A and B are shown apart, each in its own frame.
Chain A
Amino acid sequence: MSSFSTWDVIRNLLLSLPWTLFLSAIAFLGGIVLGLVLLILRIMRPNSLGRLITWYVQLFQGTPLLMQLFLTYFGLALLGFNPSPLLAATLCLSFYASAFLTETWHGCVMSIPKGQWEASSSLALNLREQLRYVIFPQALRISVPPTVGLLVQIIKNTSLASVIGFIELTRTGQIITNVTYDPFFVYGTVALMYFALCFPFSMWGRTLERKFDVGH
């Protein structure tokens, strides 16, 4: 067939794995920072900015990530940037992650009983103090399991960055397949690698969920 041995395939796939990890990490961290900012704005200004942020979330949750990636890539070109897959993928995935994270966390904040807001209001705390000392510590606790769940989604979704030419695990699999003509083995191996990456996080998330369920 070709000069690619089984070991060559696996070695090349493994070498591309850091790019998948890198993209996941950037998207997750970017998403956390931006998501947190959006969360705070949404709580502080529920009517004006809050409405806008709800639309932002709807936009990202109501359209395919694939389209978002294309739009970011070609949109950057339109704005006069040299569209590098790296820039487009990290930007787009960070925005995407921020929308999902902010929505999830907003749900957690809203699920804190009304009495907690009222009690802290009655003690003359202002909104900033209420959030910082009373609401966020409680919301943080319940937000950990779904946040871990989102991390898994993000890792899996970095695979779509392959379509705009970002060379990570999936794209490497495609390239190798074009050489070896053995998609069964290559994609099977790629799948197992993703599984090895995601499954531990999934398990961890589930353990946390169970622990918190029992805790309260």
Chain B
Amino acid sequence: MNKHSSGLVEIRGLQKSFGTLQVLKGIDLSVGRKEVVCIIGKSGSGKSTLLRCINGLEVFQSGELLVDGVPVKSSDPNAMRALRQKVGMVFQSFNLFPAMSVGNNIMLAPKLVKNMSPGDAKLLAEKLLTRVGLTEKFDSFPHELSGGQQQRVAIARALAMNPEVILCDEITSALDPELVGEVLQVIEALAREGVTLIIVTHEMNFARKVCDRVVFMHQGLVHEVGTAEDIFTSPKTPELRNFISVNHGQRELV
């Protein structure tokens, strides 16, 4: 198992402030190809901010961030366009485009950015919808779907760009409990198929089950890193121990 040989995402000394508030205080993290990394940590510890730096939604002040060996440069539109084809993102609030059908949501970026022909794009969208279990919903509109279905469409939409890595920011937090399972199953399947994933989550059982590595963030720093087994059964720092005891067994997997 030589999964982590080449760092697909390399983060070194990453610092990010909002005004005077320093949110990331020097993050070091390397994520290899086909690796599944979960980020856990208290609210406000900077998990979302870190994730959003990786695809350039946030501009960081200092440090280094490389994706596939290319440094992230948010000032260069062409570089950003290239970066975002490699990095997909799934949001907590789905963010499907309400004026477009499910099919068009998925086909939009491949057609515009990858210049895919409408025929190919349609085939791709149908294939991806089948993959997330929504074959029938091609012509539906987002508001006609349940939250869980919308989130699965959002995953298919991210997959349509054939990204190297997909970022997931608490993608089940806005869902009713009974809908969480269907979304996590899709992510689990992706993990098995070897898609590189960086997942911010509060679902501890899920993290334990699918992640190769778990990153515990605390006050803007990577506080502890290890395999899921290490992190959950033998936490080394008191902060992590405290975090785990507070969050333990909160929401069971369906």
Contact = CB atoms under 8 A, between A and B. Distances in A.
Q: Do chains A and B touch in the complex (CB under 8 A)?
A: yes
Interface of A: 113, 115-116, 118-126, 129, 133-134, 137-138, 141, 216
A125 B95 contact: no
Given A116-B95, A138-B98, A125 B88 contact: no
B161 interface: yes
A122 to B, nearest CB: 4
Interface string B135-173: 000000001000000000010011001000000000000
Contacts, number: 65
A120 B88 CA distance: 11
A120 B97 contact: yes
Nearest to A129: B112
B14 to A, nearest CB: 19
B108 interface: yes
A118 B81 contact: no
Interface in B64-89: 77, 80-85, 87-89
A119 B99 contact: no
B57 A123 contact: no
A122 B97 contact: no
Contacts of A125: 108-109, 112-113
A119 B207 CA distance: 24
Interface string B84-106: 11011101011111110000000
A122 B55 contact: yes
B108 A122 contact: no
A113 B85 CA distance: 23
Contacts of A120: 97
B113 A123 contact: yes
B191 to A, nearest CB: 20
Contacts of A124: 80-85, 109, 113, 161
7 tightest Cβ-Cβ pairs between the two chains A and B: A119-B95, A124-B84, A123-B109, A115-B95, A122-B89, A137-B99, A124-B113
Given A115-B95, A124-B84, A124-B85, 16 more contacts: A118-B57, A119-B89, A122-B55, A122-B57, A122-B84, A122-B88, A122-B158, A123-B88, A123-B161, A124-B80, A124-B113, A125-B109, A133-B108, A134-B108, A137-B99, A138-B99
24 contacts: A116-B95, A118-B89, A118-B95, A119-B91, A119-B96, A119-B154, A120-B97, A123-B88, A123-B108, A123-B109, A123-B157, A123-B161, A124-B80, A124-B109, A124-B113, A125-B109, A125-B112, A125-B113, A129-B112, A129-B113, A133-B108, A133-B112, A137-B99, A138-B99
Given A116-B97, A118-B95, A126 B77 contact: yes
Nearest to B97: A134
Contacts of B87: 122
A171 B143 CA distance: 52
Contacts of B91: 115, 118-119
A70 to B, nearest CB: 44
A113 B97 CA distance: 11
A112 B231 CA distance: 41
A113 B99 CA distance: 13
The CB with the most chain A CB atoms within 10 A, among B56, B87, B99, is that of: B99
Contacts of B112: 125, 129, 133
A125 B108 CA distance: 9
A120 B157 CA distance: 11
A33 B108 CA distance: 28
Contacts of B89: 118-119, 122
Contacts of B93: 115
B81 A126 contact: yes
Nearest to B160: A123
B125 to A, nearest CB: 13
Given A129-B112, A133-B112, A121 B84 contact: yes
Nearest to A119: B95
A115 B92 CA distance: 10
B92 to A, nearest CB: 9
